[in-house]
Amino acid sequence: MTERAARFEKVSFEAFLADYEECLGTKEGAREAYDAVQLPVRATAGSAGYDIKTPVAFRLAPGESVRIPTGLRVRMKEGWVLLIVPKSGLGSRFRLQLNNTVGVIDQDYYYAENEGHIMVPVCCDSKDGKTLELPAGKAFVQSLLVPFGITEDDEANGRRTGGFGSTNS
């Protein structure tokens, strides 16, 4: 039997608005985008990934990038991590990629100052000159819940405070 290890939630509108403005450079349309945020779902009973839909429309020409504020956070059991990867169809047709290669959402990110707001930095690396255009509400990445282990001599005891990209070592 598959273990139920997490629950997706929306961040507060205040957290969403702050990141929306930082990522997109405007507050315009933020309320509508937030209201349209959908919790991730699996497409079929056999799917491993939970599709994450963009709350905003975006267009990426080859070489362009954008960071999408999803409006989502995830509460996970200890010993689990959420990985984010592009939808395979968008990856193969447009070479949609994550700017940070693979999104790693740690279990303690939920408690970060930004409420654990999952933001997804994507770029279009099309070698065929294709421009990617996605409407709001379209799945663009998928997330996978994965258990992880630690070494026998692990002594990590730090506490997360910052948000996206905050665990600098």
- Tens digit of pLDDT for each residue in 144-167? 999 999 899 988 877 656 654 555
Extract the tokens encoding 55: 């709350």
Residue 135 lies in a domain: yes
pLDDT, tens digit (0-9, with 9 covering 90-100), for 39-51: 999 999 999 999 9
User: What does pTM read for this prediction?
Assistant: 0.89
Q: What is the CATH number of the domain that holds 68?
A: 2.70.40.10
Residue 154 lies in a domain: no
Residue 166 lies in a domain: no
- 109 is in which domain, residue-wise? 6-147
Domains: count for the chain:
1
Residue 71 lies in a domain: yes
The structure tokens 């961040």 sit at: 11
Residue 63 lies in a domain: yes
Signed CA dihedral, 96, 99, 54, 45: sign only: positive
Residue 60 lies in a domain: yes
| pLDDT at residue 160, rounded to an integer | 54
